[in-house]
Structure 1
């Protein structure tokens, strides 16, 4: 394909992504499902060139920024508190699912070696961070359940990738050493943590010495690829290195980045993540066309689809069995007196068991199977079947499952809620203003400053006392303020259009109005614009 054609195709795909997002919102479907199905439909249109995806490029291009973004926004306190449960899912559930798939595959194809069966299990076992993120953003879950799902999605890819490499090597050489595999997994994981910590520390050292906002945002963006590539170059887990660097940067950025850089970077990352997520799901649909064209549609329907659907069923059932089995075990040992065991409750466990969408990692490692690998065509079709069924079926029905079982948030909330936290910040700001409002002789020299922060402190104290009632009264006030800002913006544009102010004045004052508007929208309780 000519480079210009490639660029034109990318533009077409981006336009299709916007359209499919709008269709998904109109139909109440997860965007990932609409993009995946829409990509497959677009690929069948006449005149569009075939798309060949390089698996290594998929992992390097798409995985680091999307993992980094998820890690950056991870609630680290809950992540650390629920790490045993996260590891149960990220390691235990992945290995259990791989074993279940291997058993079903060996039953379907008795002549296939166990190592090759486990290779297929490794391909389809890790739920995907990108697919999970795309669905979880649309639902509201209890805090503990959210922490488990987010943490699992960040770490389970490493388990699947390590298992896949060992299973493929065992298939090709004919031997497998379980002790070596376990030891290598922990070495890769710990090495990934070390590399991620070193890269994030080095990057933040550099960021402190950059004094240009655009350079800071650009350098921050490169951190994810630096961590991933460094981990892979040192033959440790690039996935865990990326996650570690993202968590570290998210933890320390509050004192590192100025507010203006944080706003600018946040807007850039939202656009980047949207673009990458949209492209990868559409490209998954496109890649299905290439596989079907090569294998033949008749062969897919005649001999491969049945086993692929059985394996897909095994993938879904295995996760449910693991989650419900773990829940039953925790409930039993707690009833026996072990108070540290904390079951989720059947409602949350049902949701946790149903969230198992597969995506980019399953696609990439399936495509990376060697050309002469036993039953490679079956494994490719199975990988696509698992992705399609889990994203469309589980993704589209997750909201209904949550509404049906109504999971309860049994974790105690943090001692200080949002209204009280706002009041505490406003009170400290008033005290700081009070200290500088008077001169050395005790004379008030900054009355307006003092009055501004006094009124804010009093207002937030009233808000904290009865947040719901206070917001009900103050919300119309915020709406009026937005109307006033709109009037100011209209006047600013009139002055510019009539040639009375320069472009620089327009941009400076418009930025001030934008920041003021965003602040009011946040105070009113709406989602941030973006």
Structure 2
């Protein structure tokens, strides 16, 4: 029986990876396809119930996903858009909590107001994973993507704090408004302090270990340490993870090149696996959610689900449009930046897909209050959370690409400007490299052939970004020199690999030798593909 259970547990990540691979090959949004697949699998007879354990979601899945997102986020970009991100990650979450909570209180007979606010806090934080993956694929303007990422990094902290405050009120453990404000400020401030206290010493340690594997091992442990330390003092583990991730990611350029290569690959795989499993689990939650709804009529449940979903979506529109003007009124720098207009605000308003944090919080609701009475409406809150998460992922997620195309909001000009800026930077960097080479050549007696090879390499790097502006072809469609260089070098690398493999098969070299030389060839090919 235990073996069968273990096989079913193994089936979850295997199925998630297979579905995600098919979605990526078909050019579809993997998170949305995974949710649909999980929903479909949940109806298959014989498939056991996979009830999402809130502790696993919040302590195992959430920290590394948040840390990886913070690590690769632009600290400068987040700082420049701090006002907009703050209005969404704090203001919008609290507004949604009260709006959805009060709507549920009015709609559902017998649902106490504190329990309704628990529901509001649960569905308040959007998860930008699906939205950002679509936005980046379709070339949404960078500022919009930065704001959405920044919102998703910090809104979980606001929502989980609001959830805990509402839960205290709903369970009758004693609560005042002043106590709620204090808890929120304490959680945010101490969580940020934990992240800041961990960041510098861990960065100092990473830069002095001189061991890429251990350095990346420190980075892997960091999000779990930050989350647990902050939560142990009743602060926000989310903010602690995000702040430490932002700090270490911003200072990652000071690490060794091999450390960055290994870390980049590791986090890319880690995030891919975790996200695929999470979105499949969202779809698989239908059976445990339905189990507790016996005795309630289907039309009534459908009406409540539709109403809460609609209020959740509309609340974001109601907040985003007026609130997006406030930063421009308060900051001269914001007024000097390009106004996204109604199209940009519409895109930001529609990018409100919910995710696993909402479901984890819902499953974390206790079964009884402090008076040992059943928690009011727990099963219904769980159901309404599931339908809202599912509705936003499918309705908004499936229509998001079409909306972006229909409104004509794209970042094509930004991509061209990026290439021009990169070309200019490559030109300046290559000039600095050549000047340094000339200085060394004047100071020392260097081999002329070596100097010439280095000079050609620098000139090649100087030209490649400019040639990329032409898409790798010249005026008449002919292949430009750097594109020809990459193509020919790839063919040469493939020939080298065949020789090494053949020599290994003939036992003329050991597998350890093959692994080492293949790694060197792979690094060179990765650099060619980057170009």
**What TM-score comes out, normalization by structure 1 length?**
0.90
Deviates more, 1:397-406 or 1:182-191: 182-191
Give the 3 Å change call, closer, same or farther, for CA 500–126 of structure 1 in structure 2: same
Question: After superposition, what is the alpha-carbon deviation per residue over 1:227-262, rounded to whole angstroms, capped at 9, x for unaligned?
Answer: 111110121100000000100110112113x21122
Which residue in the other structure is 2:528 paired with?
520
Which residue in the other structure is 2:360 paired with?
364
Which residue in the other structure is 1:220 paired with?
219
Correspondence list, 1:308-457, <5 A? 308-327=305-324, 339=335, 343-371=339-367, 372-407=374-409, 417-439=421-443, 444-457=445-458
Contact 1:130–1:360 (CA<8 Å) still a contact in 2? no
Give the 3 Å change call, closer, same or farther, for CA 470–91 of structure 1 in structure 2: closer
d(CA) in 1 for partners of 2:418, 2:15: 43
d(CA) in 1 for partners of 2:314, 2:162: 20
Matched, 1:121 2:117: no
Matched, 1:295 2:296: no
Deviates more, 1:58-67 or 1:468-477: 468-477
Q: CA deviation at 1:376?
A: 1.4
Matched, 1:496 2:494: no
Give the 3 Å change call, closer, same or farther, for CA 365–214 of structure 1 in structure 2: same
Which residue in the other structure is 1:166 paired with?
165
Correspondence list, 1:151-190, <5 A? 151-173=150-172, 176-190=175-189
Contact 2:404–2:410 (CA<8 Å) still a contact in 1? no
Q: CA deviation at 1:504?
A: 2.2
Deviates more, 1:413-422 or 1:223-232: 413-422
Runs of 4+ with >6 A deviation: 410-416
Q: CA deviation at 1:459?
A: 3.8
d(CA) in 2 for partners of 1:182, 1:294: 34
Q: CA deviation at 1:150?
A: 0.6
Q: CA deviation at 1:116?
A: 1.9
Q: CA deviation at 1:452?
A: 2.6
Which residue in the other structure is 1:55 paired with?
54
Which residue in the other structure is 1:305 paired with?
302
* 2:469 aligned counterpart, secondary structure: helix
Contact 1:478–1:520 (CA<8 Å) still a contact in 2? yes
d(CA) in 2 for partners of 1:6, 1:203: 39
Correspondence list, 1:27-38, <5 A? 28-38=27-37
Deviates more, 1:156-165 or 1:472-481: 472-481
Contact 2:419–2:468 (CA<8 Å) still a contact in 1? no
Report how many residues are paired.
515
Contact 2:19–2:34 (CA<8 Å) still a contact in 1? yes
Contact 2:66–2:242 (CA<8 Å) still a contact in 1? yes
Deviates more, 1:199-208 or 1:486-495: 199-208
Q: CA deviation at 1:272?
A: 1.3
Question: After superposition, what is the alpha-carbon deviation per residue over 1:400-438, rounded to whole angstroms, capped at 9, x for unaligned?
Answer: 111111226699978981111112222222222222223
Contact 1:191–1:237 (CA<8 Å) still a contact in 2? yes
Matched, 1:507 2:506: no
* 2:402 aligned counterpart, secondary structure: helix
Correspondence list, 1:473-492, <5 A? 473=480, 474-492=482-500
d(CA) in 2 for partners of 1:29, 1:299: 37
In structure 1, the gaps of 5 or more residues are 524-530
Q: CA deviation at 1:175?
A: 6.2
Deviates more, 1:345-354 or 1:425-434: 425-434
Provide the alpha-carbon RMSD of the alignment. Answer: 2.7
Which residue in the other structure is 2:95 paired with?
96
Give the 3 Å change call, closer, same or farther, for CA 483–463 of structure 1 in structure 2: closer
Give the 3 Å change call, closer, same or farther, for CA 100–353 of structure 1 in structure 2: same
Deviates more, 1:359-368 or 1:318-327: 318-327
d(CA) in 2 for partners of 1:403, 1:302: 35
Question: After superposition, what is the alpha-carbon deviation per residue over 1:156-189, rounded to whole angstroms, capped at 9, x for unaligned?
Answer: 0011111111111112228653333223212211
Contact 2:420–2:466 (CA<8 Å) still a contact in 1? no
**What TM-score comes out, normalization by structure 2 length?**
0.90
Correspondence list, 1:229-268, <5 A? 229-256=228-255, 258-268=256-266
Deviates more, 1:450-459 or 1:77-86: 450-459
Give the 3 Å change call, closer, same or farther, for CA 433–300 of structure 1 in structure 2: farther
Which residue in the other structure is 2:370 paired with?
none
Contact 2:84–2:324 (CA<8 Å) still a contact in 1? no
Question: After superposition, what is the alpha-carbon deviation per residue over 1:422-459, rounded to whole angstroms, capped at 9, x for unaligned?
Answer: 1222222222222222346xxx4232332233223434
d(CA) in 2 for partners of 1:326, 1:262: 39
Give the 3 Å change call, closer, same or farther, for CA 49–461 of structure 1 in structure 2: closer
Q: CA deviation at 1:222?
A: 0.7
Contact 1:40–1:288 (CA<8 Å) still a contact in 2? yes
Give the 3 Å change call, closer, same or farther, for CA 10–132 of structure 1 in structure 2: farther
Contact 2:354–2:392 (CA<8 Å) still a contact in 1? yes
